[in-house]
Amino acid sequence: MYAMRRELQQYRQSGALAEATVADPHRLIQMLFEGALERIAVAKGAMEQGNIQLKGNKLTQAISIIGGLRSSLDLSQGGDLAGNLDALYEYMTRRLLQANIHNDTDALDEVIRLLREIKSAWDGIPDRLRQAS
């Protein structure tokens, strides 16, 4: 059973890597949102099951992904939107750290909701605007 899980994980990783190598910048950001959401969901399950190591690993990965989203912002050209997203990503990072320390599933749910809102807006960008940038 463990070998099957390991092989499935390797397949998922190789599939994501292959997609990332051919993805346009818009799709890469979508993949970051998806990756953060997936890791937080796994961390929440681990938290509920008392698996401290898995919870910590997945939250660390989610924080790293959010850091990547944050570092992709162009604060000099992005105006208020970039500044607001920067502050929101920083807030999400703090909430994930607090969730990890206090086993707070409500904090995880809050970050999931925020990420889904931003991802939904990102997903709604029309193709013509994606290609123009």
Residues 20-71 pLDDT 10s: 565 688 889 999 999 999 999 999 999 999 999 999 999 999 999 999 999 9
pLDDT at 7: 46
| Residue bearing the bigger pLDDT, 9 or 64 | 64
Query: What is the CATH superfamily name and number for domain 24-123?
Result: Flagellar protein FliS (1.20.120.340)
Which residues fall within 8 angstroms of residue 62, CB to CB, at 6 or more apart?
A: 36, 39, 40, 43, 96, 111
Domain parsing of the chain, residue ranges: 24-123
C-alpha distances (whole Å) from 66 to each of 1, 34, 51, 123 are: 32, 11, 23, 17
The whole-chain average pLDDT of the chain stands at 86
Look up the pTM and report it. 0.81
pLDDT at 4: 42
Count other Cβ atoms within 10 Å, centred on residue 24: 11
Residue 19 has pLDDT above 60, yes or no: no
